[in-house]
Structures are given as C-alpha cells and as structure tokens.
A and B are shown apart, each in its own frame.
Chain A
Amino acid sequence: DAGVIQSPRHEVTEMGQEVTLRCKPISGHNSLFWYRQTMMRGLELLIYFNNNVPIDDSGMPEDRFSAKMPNASFSTLKIQPSEPRDSAVYFCASSPGTGNPRSYNSPLHFGNGTRLTVT
C-alpha cells in the first residue's frame, strides 16, 4: 500500500499564478479530505468528498479555491489566482468512511503534504 500520494511536495509560485495540487487517495477509500496547515490557524478542513461527490466545502476560503474529484483515484485542489496569504502546507487525507457511524473506526490517512509558497 503506497499510502496517500500528493504532488508536488514543494511549489513556489508568484502571486497571480494558478496553482494545482494533486492527490491520489488509498485505493478503496471512499472519503477524501483536503486540509490546510499554517502556523497561525493550525489544521483547517477545506473540503471533503464522499464517493467522489463534494459533501462539505464550507472551509474553502474563497472563490479562488476549487477542488475536484473526477474519479475515485484522483483529486485536485486549484488556487487561481494565488496570493501570498495562501502560503501553507496542504494535506490530502483519505479514509474508508462513508459517513455512517462506523466510519469512526477508520482513521484518516494523510499524505506528506504540499508546501506552497506564493511570493
């Protein structure tokens, strides 16, 4: 099991540019989560998908952020246009959970994150 795979590991871009972060969840996992980690705000849930469908995107900061999950093995988080305040580590996580109470038995499996720096 390769775990959750994120790419790239590091991204440095200039403000105004489009940034796309990619995630491959663990095969067979039904839920996928995008988190953002900063020193000031800690870990924030941006959006999560269940069976490829976005369930809750209330954590997405603004319209510049968008996420898609075209199939069960791939998701993207896009920022357009990027701003310096978007600099953070972005984590993707997956779990077998499907939204029922039994999902608590299934911990989140995190990728190693993408460190984004917007200059």
Chain B
Amino acid sequence: AQSVTQLGSHVSVSEGALVLLRCNYSSSVPPYLFWYVQYPNQGLQLLLKYTSAATLVKGINGFEAEFKKSETSFHLTKPSAHMSDAAEYFCAVSLSNFGNEKLTFGTGTRLTIIP
C-alpha cells in the first residue's frame, strides 16, 4: 500500500521568504506524486504532478517540487512567498498503474504568510 507523510501540519513564513513544505512517500512500486492546494471554502486544485519524467517538476503559481528517490521525498518549494499563497497544501501519491483511482492524500499542511 502507498502512503504519504507531510511533516508539519502548520508552517508560517514571512512574505518574500522561501516556502518549503515537506512530503515523504512510501510505495512498493514507482509512484506518481501530486501536490494539491485548497483555499478556504473551496475544493482542491492541482499544483503539480510527478509522473516519472523529469525529477524537478514545475507547477502553477511559481511552485516546484523535486522527486528524490533516495530520500523518498517530494518536497514543495517556492522561492518567494506571497500573501495569496496562504492555503492548505496536500501531498498525494498514486500507484503508477492506477492513476487517480488510488490517490492517497496526506493530512495537509496549512501555510500562513506573515506580512
């Protein structure tokens, strides 16, 4: 079975500072990995996805994530935080053979931006 662990349920950064949200995965087969963002009172939106092509994946809103097999990690970063980045972020994993049908989400990290 696959799973993801998000380290830190709450992260606060100053506006303009680096954003780093951590995600480690566990999977018995090569995984597909995703980051989703949830703004208040809305559903989740896809930020970016890793599907065994380039290990550095660029997403929307200036976010990117790097797949590191040796560390079983898929951390999300953004060089300079913006107030509009305040939201909850979810890492998710899917077995490569099943795509969306077996998507398992982490528990989420709430990102707060300090003015």
- Where the two chains meet, the residues of A that have a C-beta atom closer than 8 Å to any C-beta of B are 4, 31, 33, 42-43, 45, 48, 50, 55-56, 91, 93, 95, 97, 99-113
Q: A108 vs B97: C-alpha distance in the bound complex, in angstroms?
A: 16
Instruction: Decide if B46 touches A107 in the complex (CB within 8 Å).
Output: yes
Q: Known A42-B105, A42-B106; judge A104-B44 contact (CB<8 A).
A: no
Report the minimal beta-carbon distance from A35 to chain B, rounded to whole angstroms. Answer: 8
Q: Can you identify 28 A-B contacts, CB atoms within 8 angstroms?
A: A4-B43, A42-B105, A43-B44, A43-B90, A43-B105, A45-B103, A50-B101, A55-B101, A93-B44, A95-B100, A97-B100, A97-B101, A99-B101, A100-B99, A101-B96, A101-B97, A101-B99, A103-B100, A104-B94, A104-B96, A104-B100, A106-B100, A108-B103, A110-B43, A111-B43, A112-B41, A112-B42, A113-B41
Flag whether B34 is at the interface (Cβ < 8 A): yes
Q: Give 9 closest A-B pairs by Cβ, nearest first.
A: A110-B43, A103-B99, A107-B46, A104-B99, A43-B105, A42-B107, A110-B44, A97-B100, A104-B32
Instruction: Decide if A106 touches B99 in the complex (CB within 8 Å).
Output: yes
CB-nearest residue of chain B relative to A106? Answer: B100
- Where the two chains meet, the residues of B that have a C-beta atom closer than 8 Å to any C-beta of A are 32, 34, 36, 41-46, 49, 51, 90, 94, 96-101, 103-108
Instruction: Decide if A105 touches B101 in the complex (CB within 8 Å).
Output: no
Report the minimal beta-carbon distance from B39 to chain A, rounded to whole angstroms. Answer: 10
Report the minimal beta-carbon distance from A14 to chain B, rounded to whole angstroms. Answer: 24
Q: A12 vs B98: C-alpha distance in the bound complex, in angstroms?
A: 36
CB-nearest residue of chain B relative to A92? Answer: B43
Residues of chain B within 8 A (CB-CB) of A45 are 103-104
A4, A31, A91, A111: the one contacting B100 at CB < 8 Å is A31
Instruction: Decide if B43 touches A93 in the complex (CB within 8 Å).
Output: yes
Instruction: Decide if B49 touches A104 in the complex (CB within 8 Å).
Output: yes
Instruction: Decide if B51 touches A103 in the complex (CB within 8 Å).
Output: no
Q: A97 vs B99: C-alpha distance in the bound complex, in angstroms?
A: 8
Q: Known A42-B108, A101-B96, A104-B32; judge A56-B101 contact (CB<8 A).
A: yes
Residues of chain A within 8 A (CB-CB) of B107 are 42
